[in-house]
Chains A and B, each alone.
Chain A
Amino acid sequence: MSDHDKIYSTKFQDAVERKTVLMFVMIALAVAVGGIVEIVPLFYVPNTAVVGGDGTYNNTAHKDTAGNTISMDKIVWNPATSAHKTLDEWQPGDGVRPLKPLELAGRLVYQREGCYLCHSQHIRPFRDEKDRYGHYSIAEESMYDHPFQWGSKRTGPDLARVGAKYSDEWQRRHLKYPRDVVPESVMPNYFWLESSAVNVTETVQSMKVLTMMPFNPVPKTIYTDDYINGAAAQLDGKTDMDALIAYLQGLGNHIKFEEGVNYRD
């Protein structure tokens, strides 16, 4: 067995191959590096829509064409500074906001039905995507999305800015029988969403959970106890179809984008 004592590589590699614990430790260290380098900074660097403890968004500073810093309150809705103080008063363009109860119920339907497997919710900064879908997506727009629903495949079109693009009636007809509206579509029929009631308990519980998130929670000043307690009433008698349409109609119109501003720097 003398051959087994011979070293065919380096001394260190030989030692690693002989000692289980050393091999284990070396592997555990080697595989940890990449993730740490790429993930951890995203919680600290600017422009990644992480809410800093003091509400500064980690020094994110979008500049307008004159070079002046755009107030983050214009990007992310802040009821304290906005003229519109509650979710019900909020208007498109006031900035990114959490979902209203019916929209949140719709998002849970979106997630349940696996819509993200065929529809992306992320527009890239290309001319054709701007012409087809609208302004490119920015980090703040999905800051309340637990989980993110950017998707990885466009079997159907991107939905990041589908809100208010079609009427509620169009959405309803299309969701029920897509080929009645778009003959070439390959989307399944979802007419049965009209006969299933929204899951009130789960939606209300989700609102509570969203305020407890360790990263980017919904502020309790927006999901106040009163607001959460009133959610059940808003969901009363609504169907999964109503919820999903409400969710889709609210997608992508939160921020009023200014022409010529680079929101990616």
Chain B
Amino acid sequence: MCIVNLLEEETTVEATQATPVKYDMEVVRWFTIAAAIYAVVGTLVGVIVASELAWPFLNLDIPYITFGRLRPLHTNAVIFAFGGCVLFATGFYMVQRTCAKKLWSNGLAWFTFAGWNLIIVCAVLALPLGFSSGKEYAELPWIVDLMIAVVWLSFGLNHIMTVAIRKTSHIYVSNWFTMSMIVMITYLHVVNSMAIPVSLTNGLSMYAGVQDAMVQWWWGHNAVGFYLTAGFLAIMYYFVPKQSGRPVFSYRLSVLHFWALTFGYVWLGSHHLQYTALPDWTGSLGAAVSMAMIIPSWGGAMNGMMTLSGAWDKLRTDYILRFLVVALAFYAMSTFEGPVMSLKSVNALSHYTDWTVGHVHSGALGWTAMVAYGALYHMVKKLWGVDKMYSESLVNVHFWMATIGTVIYVVALWVSGIMQGLMWRDYDEYGTLTYTFVESVSAMHPYYVMRMVGGLIFTIGAAIALFNIVMTVSQASAKRASGAVPAKA
């Protein structure tokens, strides 16, 4: 199949050139380390906010760390700091290797690195200080939104221009996904962030009410669909074949997966607004397309899984491959759960409950973070020219902590979410509501504790990964300094 050749092409082109391509990998190394650090920070803030819900005294009466201000910091840190650094590291890594070409502009890539980290610093200051636009997952003030647009476009331009000057004949499938993410996130960010400034730190959304809600959830769901899914599917289509040493199972399936997802995912946002003041057709349309999305999503998951056919035994010894495969399992699970939750009858129960939060985390921890770690470990070995991580068994420990932590988290919130939904709608024999609202709050306590424990296990795993990566890098650097191993491009 064509895709086989595309994968081999990378090595073929390299081998046939008089001088092998010398890639710009230093910026990728920095993004890789940054991603490993931000993963720990972002999930740790998550554990803190989860603890605040379980034991409210932990808000400590300090305004800057109250739940309402820290929760946006958690979401922004994991999505933009961790997720962003993973996407830039893998994006720059894959585009060079699949195009057999250095980056279009190495200088611009460093601008992306510096700019993105500056944005993260701004977010860390702005959100605890309460500078919030009041729109979920897009809380950063307008001035930071402007910075995000510029830095995002610097990445997009560099990526697309590198594709344009590639040495290979076809554009590899990972780059399709990355390009669709670049375009869609640009649309989303620009349209959703439209605001009129009130001061340097605050602005008011240009849209109001119903229209603002639709724009916001068009952004909210597609930040998941393109940033956390398309971008990470690019990772899947490169790193699963690379790590398993097998070609992608089906080229045709990847074509179907790509175009169906690119066209269809955009429609799903309105399923967040079932039974609200929006016209009913918007939610119904969103739910219908959500159901249809099961097909390409599962097609893509199968495509990744079946890539391992003939190499399943590697799962016994290859811990990195375990991350990639379990990620695909979570991808398949959450892309089934999501459409189910979008249906009106299910949504009537699940909306406003912890079930939604659990669903997001089965996607974000189980799929996004797991596939990211598979790629990070793979890249660390290649980038620093080592055959093994500092400790392979710590990779395995991390794998199990990530998996178990995620499962505990998701199960806790399934139970609490469904219980909340059922308690709120329950009537007693006299036809009055059985439970007061606060009874549902106190019923949540054990599950909030359980969720915090699951998150903590995941965070400790991330800390182990950071330790392992730092030790691997410092060992490799020490060896390189003493001249034991020749430096690799």
Residues of A that sit less than 8 Å from B by CB: 1, 3-4, 6, 8-9, 13-14, 17-18, 20-21, 23-24, 27-28, 30-35, 37-39, 42-43, 45, 47-50, 108, 111-118, 120, 122, 124-126, 128, 131-132, 137-139, 141-158, 178-179, 182, 184-192, 201-202, 205-206, 209-210, 212-216, 264
What are 16 A-B pairs with beta-carbon distances under 8 A?
Answer: A9-B251, A45-B279, A48-B210, A50-B211, A114-B139, A125-B275, A128-B433, A132-B437, A142-B210, A148-B213, A149-B134, A182-B438, A184-B442, A205-B198, A212-B196, A264-B277
Contact B285 A38 (CB under 8 A): yes
Interface residues of B (CB under 8 A from A): 1-2, 5, 9, 52-54, 56, 59, 61, 63, 66-69, 71-72, 130-136, 139, 160, 163-164, 166, 169-171, 176, 179-180, 183-184, 187, 191, 196-199, 202-216, 218, 226, 251-252, 255, 259, 262-270, 272, 275-280, 282, 285-286, 289, 348, 351-354, 356-357, 420, 424-427, 432-433, 437-439, 441-442, 448
Q: In the bound complex, how far is the Cα of B214 from the Cα of A139, in angstroms?
A: 12
Docked-complex contact B208 and A146, CB < 8 angstroms: yes
- Are A4 and B170 also in contact (CB < 8 A) when A23-B179, A156-B441, A188-B52 are? yes
Shortest Cβ gap from A175 to chain B (Å): 12
Which B residues lie within 8 Å of A14 (CB)?
170
Known: A49-B277, A132-B437, A148-B213. 16 other contacts (CB 8 A): A17-B171, A23-B163, A23-B179, A32-B266, A42-B210, A43-B211, A48-B211, A143-B209, A143-B210, A150-B276, A152-B352, A153-B352, A179-B56, A186-B448, A206-B204, A215-B206
Are B437's CB and A147's CB within 8 A?
no
Query: Which chain A residue lies CB-closest to B286?
Result: A38
A42: which B residues are within 8 A, CB to CB? 210-211, 214, 278-279, 282
* Contacts A143-B208, A153-B352; A186 near B56 (Cβ below 8 A): yes
Given A9-B251, A42-B211, A153-B357, is A117 in contact with B53 using a C-beta cutoff of 8 Å? no
The residues of A that contact B356 with a CB separation of less than 8 Å are 152-153
**B203, B211, B215, B277: residue with the most chain A Cβ atoms closer than 10 Å:** B277
- Give the residue name and chain of the A residue nearest to B260 (CB): A30
The B contact surface, by secondary structure, is: helix
Q: A139-B277, A146-B206, A213-B206 are in contact. Are A115 and B266 (CB under 8 A)?
A: no
A153 contact set on B, CB distance < 8 A: 352-354, 356-357
Contacts of A143 in B (CB 8 A): 208-210
Cβ-neighbour of B262 out of A31, A212, A213 (below 8 A): A31
The reply to whether A215 and B160 form a contact with Cβ atoms under 8 Å apart is no
Q: Is the CB of A27 within 8 A of B262?
A: yes
A116 to chain B, nearest CB (A): 6
Could you tell me if A112 and B270 are in contact, using CB atoms closer than 8 angstroms? no
In Å, the complex CA distance between A108 and B272 comes to: 25
Q: Nearest chain B CB to A12's CB is how many angstroms away? A: 11
CA distance A9 to B170 in the complex (A): 12
Q: Can you list the 5 inter-chain pairs with the closest CB atoms, starting with the nearest?
A: A114-B68, A34-B266, A142-B209, A147-B205, A8-B2
**Residue on B nearest A132 in the bound complex, by CB:** B433
B134 touches A147 (CB 8 A): yes
Q: Is A115 a contact of B68 with CB atoms below 8 Å?
A: yes
